[in-house]
Amino acid sequence: MHNLRQSCYAAALAVGVSLIAVSAQAQPAGVLRVAVGADPATFDPAFNDLPVGNAVDLAVLEGLFRLDPQNNVQKNLATDYSFSQDGKIFTVKIRTGKTFSNGDPLNAESVAASFNRMLDEKTGSIYRGLYASLGTVKAAGEDTVEFHMAEPNGHILMLLANTAASIVNVKAVKAMGAEYGRKPVGSGPYMVEKFVGSEGFRLVPNPTYSGAYPATLKAIDFTVVPEDGSRMALLETGSVDVVERVPPESMPAINALKDAKVINPPSMFSINMEMVLRGPLADARVRKALNLAIDREGIAKGILGGLGTPSVGMVGPGTQDELRKTFPPIAFDPEGAKKLLAEAGYKPGQLQLSFTCPTGRYIKDAQVCQALAGSFENIGIKATPLVVDRGTWSKVVGMEPTARTDNMGMVGRATAGMDYTLYRLFFTGVGANRTGYSSPRVDALLKEGRSTTDTAKQKEIYGAVQEIVWNEQPFLYLWYQTQALGVANRVQGLEVQPNETLVFDKVTLK
């Protein structure tokens, strides 16, 4: 079944072999303790937008495909796949005999129901627009799923490998309501045993799991600790085994510990201030003035302590490097910024801007926001940084642009695949496009990029999109974040995807 009319990343991505259930496995042992900075609002993949939620979804749910730690696509529930001769139907064969953790069958019908739920406008999924090209999903017998495509999409494997495409038990969703987001019923190696908002949650082995990634741990305990110092103290005292986002000033102390160290896995996080393109920020001169006002090198060295490199394009490294395009760094030019503001009709002190930032979501996020306020004041803008808790921040930056009362929001983006990244942020009206950006030229290019499988043509198309976006500056471009995690020496086999998703497949404790 491989007469593909579209390459589906065949040239760029290594599709893994079929998963084979392993009969003889060691019993799960030990409790892994993880301290995270952000409190997840939900584990429902139709709404989750946090790496910690991705980690849970990867452990608790399964998809047709999945990404390995290097962002290569592997088969998961899928055993085979093909396009029809006309490219309008994408067919996936799935493993039979699978069940969800509550005993419900995981068959073609339940897979189709999961996708159709996400694609249903009534569901309100934040990923609906991104996945709209999948069209209508139908079951053809117990083991065959058909995607009747709404439009050609040569990037479908990447879409289906993302945790947003994890298979949920729609029957359980209807019965549980909002509780499903806290204790999703999946078919993965783990289950959520408990969830306490703002405090933590626990994963335990799923006794009904069958597949290639059986649980290796008796439990995984997550504790939510937004404050950096408190999170580091837990590792230093041996109270946890893994801590997220080690701040630069704590790295020497963590590395000096006898029983733990800092690791720096590859990262593709691109951190920016995403502008709401109305009012003063509808004027490209104002947007460019803001970008000229920022000393990115100073922020990277002085505040981030080297755990970041200045942006040279919206798309971060590792997203899909063969299609990625970079540009000369934006100059730090306060005088040039003042001239642009004057051209736009703003005298010193006339323009007022507010921007929303989280605390504890990104490395030194609150401190960077205060520095940005100073940079804006330096060019004659009255700047108001709104540093808020994770829940408030997520709500604000997730609003429709017309509902926003602020002018910008700090957001980090790390999604595998060029189409996945650019389409969700810059195609008109798509859910993650929270700037209100709309360009007929970009829309046309993104559609063209989906319809071609020629790598050279894709490079040309996506290069053009990246150049347009870089020049129009709907974002205040900041930096690419370097991952820094504190890990106890007793933890073996922990892997981290470039989007900060923790992978527990092979973790054992010495």
Tell me how far apart the alpha carbons of residues 66 and 384 are, in angstroms, rounded to a whole number: 42
**Is residue 226 in some structural domain?**
no
The pLDDT of residue 10: 41
Q: Are 414 and 399 a contacting pair, CB within 8 Å?
A: no
Q: H helices within 237-307, ranges in order?
A: 251-255, 284-292, 296-298
pLDDT band at 154 (very low <50, low <70, confident <90, very high): confident
Asked whether the beta carbons of 408 and 273 are under 8 A apart, the reply is yes
Q: At 81, which amino acid appears?
A: Y
Q: Is residue 200's pLDDT more than 70?
A: yes
> Other CB atoms closer than 10 Å to residue 298's CB: what's the count?
14
pLDDT at 79: 98
Q: How far apart are CA 258 and CA 273, in angstroms?
A: 39
Whether 503 and 430 map to the same domain: the answer is no
CA dist list (Å): 361 to 265, 480, 500: 18, 14, 12
Within 13 Å, how many C-alpha atoms sit on residue 45's CB side? 30
What DSSP element (H or E) covers 466? helix 455-472
By the 8 A CB rule, do 92 and 147 touch? yes
Position 453 in a domain? yes
State the number of CA atoms in the 13 A half-sphere of 100 facing the CB. Answer: 22
The larger pLDDT score, comparing residue 508 to residue 25, is at 508
For residue 5, pLDDT over 60 is answered with no
Backbone phi and psi for residue 16, each to the nearest 5 degrees, phi listed first? -70, 165
Distance CA 213, CA 365 (A): 35
Q: Is residue 259 part of a domain?
A: no
The dihedrals phi and psi of 310, each to the nearest 5 degrees, come to -55, 140
502 plus 426 within the same structural domain: no
Three-class SS state of 357: strand
Q: Which of 109, 114, 99 is nearest to 206 (CA)?
A: 99
> Residue 198 has what pLDDT?
86
For residue 105, the 8-state DSSP code is B
Answer whether residue 22 shows pLDDT above 60: no
User: Are 108 and 161 within one domain?
Assistant: yes
Determine, yes or no, domain membership for 254: no
**Shared domain check, 505 and 449:** no
Residue-wise pLDDT for 38-76, tens only, equals 888 899 999 998 899 999 999 999 999 999 888 889 999
The per-residue pLDDT for range 257-296, each reduced to its tens digit, is 999 999 999 889 999 999 999 999 999 999 999 999 999 9
**CA separation for the pair 355, 281 (Å, rounded):** 12
Nearest to 417, CA basis, from 125, 67, 46, 133: 67
Quote the number of domains for the chain.
Answer: 2
**Residues 477 and 501 occupy one common structural domain:** no
What is the number of other CB atoms lying within 10 angstroms of the CB of residue 296?
A: 20
Which of 223, 235, 225 has the alpha carbon at shortest distance from 196? 223
| pLDDT computed for residue 266 by the predictor | 85
Statement to judge: residues 59 and 178 lie in one domain: yes
Q: What is the pLDDT of residues 466-479, one digit of tens each?
A: 999 999 999 999 99
Structural domain of residue 74, as residue ranges? 38-189+497-509
Q: What is the mean pLDDT of residues 221-246?
A: 95
Task: Write down the mean pLDDT value for the chain.
Answer: 92
Kindly tell me if the per-residue pLDDT of 13 is higher than 80.
no
In a domain, 294, yes or no: yes
**CATH code of residue 165:** 3.90.76.10
Is beta strand 200-205 parallel, antiparallel or unpaired with respect to 508-509?
unpaired
Same-domain pairing of 410 and 378: yes
Q: Do residues 457 and 505 both lie within one domain? A: no
pLDDT of residue 58: 97
Report pLDDT digits (tens) over 98-130: 999 999 999 999 999 999 999 999 999 999 988
CA gap 453, 461 in Å, rounded: 12
Taking the C-alpha atoms of residue 53 and residue 139, their distance in angstroms, rounded to an integer, is 28
- Ranges 194-198, 323-327, 486-490, 506-510: which has the least confidence: 194-198
Answer whether residue 31 is part of any domain: no
pLDDT digits (tens, 9 = 90+) for 338-364: 999 999 999 999 999 999 999 878 889
Q: Is residue 487 part of a domain?
A: no
CA-CA-CA-CA torsion for 44, 49, 50, 52, nearest 10 degrees?
Answer: 20
Within 354-439, residue ranges assigned H as helices are 365-378, 390-397, 418-426
> What is the DSSP secondary-structure string of 165-214?
GPBP-HHHHHHHGGGGGTS---SSSEEEEEEETTTEEEEEE-TT--SS--
- As a whole number, mean pLDDT of residues 414-420 equals 89
> 29 in a domain, yes or no?
no
Same domain, 89 and 183: yes
For the chain, percent of residues with pLDDT exceeding 70: 95
505 and 408 in one domain?
no
Q: What is the CATH number of the domain that holds 440?
A: 3.10.105.10
Q: Are residues 428 and 501 in the same domain?
A: no
Summarize pLDDT for 129-148 with one digit per residue, the tens.
889 999 999 999 999 999 99
**Shared-domain flag, residues 462 and 351:** yes
